[in-house]
Chains A and B, each alone.
Chain A
Amino acid sequence: MERRLPQFFFALSMIVLALMLGAIWQAGTPAWRSYQQEFHRLEAAGEPNAAAKSGVLGANLVIRQALLPGLQRVDRCTTCHLGVEDPTMKNARQPFTFHPNLAPHLPARFGCTVCHGGQGLATDNQNAHGKVPFWQEPLLPKEYIRASCGRCHKEGDVPGVPELTDGRRLFETQGCRGCHKLNGVGGTVGPDLTEEGAVHRAPAWLERHFLDPNAVSSNSPMPNFHFTKEQARALTFYMLSLTSEQMATYYSSVRLIPSAGYGRQLFVEKNCIACHNIGGVGAKSGPDLLGVTKHHSPGWLDEQLVNPELVYPGSIMPAYDLETNARKAIIAFMAAATAEDAQSILSRRPRPLTAQDAAIEAGKQSFARFGCVGCHGLQLQGGVPNPNSQGGEVPSLLHASDDYTKEEVIAIIRNGKVPPVDNSAKPAPPLYMPSWKGVLAEEDINRIADYLWSLQKKKESW
């Protein structure tokens, strides 16, 4: 042993040296280098003379990256996808293929992953495409990539992506917020959806879920809304676009052009004329909006649209959940609006304005915004299944005045209600009326009651 010790020592030194060389070899031959070499050969084939050829072939092999502080990303995709901006690579194989129709979303400003998903920091195939454990944004399948438009274009129509507009509209009209929270507003029965497009990113799962929640998530309390395939696709698009990622002004301001035309559309949609008038035409509960932009600064008006209570304490105007540019668009519309505009908006209303309309409109807004329609239905018809409750479904609100006084209804909204159980041996009904005290102001609850009472139908006598 003693004499063999130096040999042993020497042999181990050699093993350590070999391991060092192994590590260096492992680190020294990343796949992106061979991709770049191959791309240089492709480029050289197109060069006319020998000098240019050797210049291209001798180019340095380097990691290429787009530093995108405004998106809090670093995208190294173009390390391998070298032909993205090179039209001559139109027919080259991946990863060198040219990306058509890029402008104005140039990789230098937008990178790749904000639309495509994947792991921008990575420099090898598996990791970069995000198909590895612990990366939450794998590459989106081709048919869903357009959903990413909604990450920046959060409002209005996105040209070429009608699914987003449809999905957004479905979400707001079907009462999804009754159970799901989005950007801080909504119920707590289902999961918060604020990060749905950033965290899970499972388009196929989402789409099957919308067609039949129980098919992918057993015992889900979410009712089957019997969406069509198109509606499920639209909602999936909308879900994939949801993220609370902080984006710099450059990205958030390109969301939508705040035109007066879009402002007028919103003015009609939000039924502003139910309270306000323009040049004396319309309702009188709110102030005349003629020339309002001359009396108040854009900042003041913007604040008024975000949170009326902060501008006028005790204001009966509801707070509307409008994006920055939607508010800009409404202000742009008001700047040029005339009595004739009000007249034409009024002429398209289904029924004439009444004195109570302001409160009813505010109630309706709250009813929609806080997701009441999710269970009670768009026409207050109820009917969402609620197993083991008496009647087996959420009750219609159209005949509430037969069983309750207005004060009793206000108390139920304020304190919530557990539905009466049909069979106490079976599990309790999954859906219940939550308590809205603390979420809704007293005035809001009263106005919702006003809204409900405006739609009451007399029970048919027999």
Chain B
Amino acid sequence: MMNPLRDAWQSIVRRDPLSTDKGKSELVFLNVWLHIHPAKVKKDNLKVKHTFYLGFITFFLFLILVTTGVALMFYYRPHPPQAYQDMKDLQFVVYLGSFLRNMHRWSAHGMVICVFLHMCRVFYTGSYKRPRQFNWVIGVVLFLLTLGLSFTGYLLPWDQLAYWAITVGTNIGSYAPLVGARVRELLLGGHTVGESALLRFYVLHVAVLPAVMTLLTMVHFWRVRKDGGLSRPVWKLKPEKAARLVTIGASDTIAPLTAVPASKDKTYGLMEVVTGKPIFETVSMEEEEDTVFSYPYAFFREGVALLATVATVMAVSMFWKAPLEELANPAKTPNPAKAPWYFLGLQELVSHSALLGGVVVPALAVLALILIPYVDLNPSRRPADRKWAIRAFTLFVVVNVVLIVVGTLFRGPGWAWVPPWVHITGAE
């Protein structure tokens, strides 16, 4: 029987009904947006306590930022007095303008936090280990890009907060020997924050950095998939299952690529035929009882994470306004002038030593982060086997958080120690 509607629908989805296993598989295989997923996922990977969905949440925040950011671009002129006036127009006359700006602002802060938490999760679960070393490096670069996007966006409202935060932030960068001052000049298009700095930050913020971010995010996801999906606590597997795991793609002398369960009726893909051996752990090798179809189990969960992220950002944006101070005034320096909060740990270090705190320590910290998977050669991911790695990283996190909290809450005029509960009279 002819059913034009059903034919039309079929021409779009081109798959069997979702009630069948074939349909569930085809939903993933035949869809450009979903095929980054496997058709079937391990049950372990769906557990909230294994990943807290932090990677997803970070990505969803990025999507919110792109969406609200494009909407905001319709109302924004990257030129000094107009830029500030456009903020006022968003607040007072543009329909939902305040709400859009609030969402953009809070998502940006949220993304900096979530990307950091995601990094912590990956470290504590040892998920940067073979074969995922390079994906950790890409992750560190994505973290730096997130900071860069947040920092360039910070200047755009062109108020006192923006102006002086960027002045302080770029001053910290200029402490680098030989190149520091040159890089600052290149970034600002001058020696002080002015109209060319605003234009440069705008172009970086809306074009260059988001494009690089999108490309690297794709690589990041692709490698997660190629490295066997999300990592899971393999050390928690029951002994009888662990006994059935075999090590593939590795000689006895080097650390195993990954551990997969042995399977009697294994079928080999083209790539494995080409290379002569199975390279990556894939779902098809898993025991039937350990896996479920991505539809609906994974997709619904991701959907819930997306909705929860959006709902949280919206709720926060309804009740808390994005800050906007006076029009930027190069002649009037606030005391203290503070960088954006995520750089206040740096500013705190700089207050003790410009070269050491502003250049040496942060450069070493970034280098150390990048080198972690190449230095930590301990093959085990079991927390009990890597106590010192965990202690060292925890120290790094605690020091960072303490420095940021000190810089944000405990520093007053002249960068003097002023606890938040002490009110300074006469301070403007």
Contact = CB atoms under 8 A, between A and B. Distances in A.
**Pairing of A with B:** yes
Contacts of A20: 314
Contact of B96 (A2, A9, A27, A127): A27
Nearest to A195: B331
Interface stretch (A118-126, A288-296, A381-389, A400-408): A118-126
Given A27-B95, A127-B92, A15 B307 contact: yes
A9 B303 contact: yes
A16 B311 contact: yes
B304 A8 contact: yes
B325 A134 contact: yes
A121 B324 CA distance: 14
A123 B92 contact: yes
Interface in B337-362: none
Interface residues of B, number: 31
A224 to B, nearest CB: 20
Contacts of A133: 325
A97 interface: no
A26 B85 contact: no
What DSSP secondary structure best describes chain A's contact surface? Answer: helix
Nearest to A32: B92
Contacts of A19: 311, 314-315, 318
Contacts of A6: 296, 300
A245 to B, nearest CB: 12
B324 A76 contact: no
A135 interface: yes
Interface of B is mostly: helix
Contacts of B92: 76, 121-124, 127
A416 to B, nearest CB: 26
Nearest to B308: A12
A63 B324 contact: no
Nearest to B329: A199
Nearest to B297: A2
A74 B314 contact: no
Nearest to B310: A16
Contacts of B310: 16
A5 B301 contact: yes
A133 B81 CA distance: 19
B325 A72 contact: no
B378 to A, nearest CB: 35
B88 interface: yes
B304 A5 contact: yes
B93 A123 contact: yes
Interface string A325-357: 000000000000000000000000000000000
Nearest to A24: B96
A386 B160 CA distance: 38
A13 B300 CA distance: 12
Given A16-B314, A135-B326, A23 B300 contact: no
A136 interface: yes
B99 to A, nearest CB: 5
A12 B304 contact: yes
A12 B307 contact: yes
Contacts of B91: 122, 127
A400 B310 CA distance: 79
Interface in A88-144: 119, 121-124, 127, 133-136
Contacts of A22: 318
Nearest to A133: B325
Interface string B142-160: 0000000000000000011
Contact of A134 (B89, B95, B315, B324): B324
Contacts of B89: 121
A121 B88 contact: yes
Contact of A9 (B99, B300, B317, B326): B300
Interface in B38-81: 81
A384 B296 CA distance: 86
A135 B92 CA distance: 14
A9 B307 contact: yes
Contacts of A76: 92-93
Contacts of B85: 74, 121
B164 to A, nearest CB: 13
Given A5-B300, A5-B304, A12-B307, A26 B99 contact: yes
Contact of B81 (A9, A72, A123, A124): A72
22 contacts: A5-B301, A6-B296, A6-B300, A9-B303, A9-B304, A15-B311, A16-B314, A19-B314, A19-B318, A20-B314, A22-B318, A23-B96, A23-B99, A24-B96, A27-B95, A27-B96, A121-B88, A122-B88, A122-B92, A123-B92, A124-B92, A134-B326
Interface of B: 81, 85, 88-89, 91-93, 95-96, 98-99, 159-160, 296-297, 300-301, 303-304, 307-308, 310-311, 314-315, 317-318, 324-326, 332
**Which 3 pairs show the lowest CB-CB distances between chains A and B?**
A12-B307, A19-B314, A121-B88
Given A28-B95, A63-B93, 13 more contacts: A5-B301, A6-B300, A9-B307, A16-B311, A19-B311, A19-B318, A23-B317, A23-B318, A27-B96, A74-B85, A76-B93, A134-B159, A134-B326
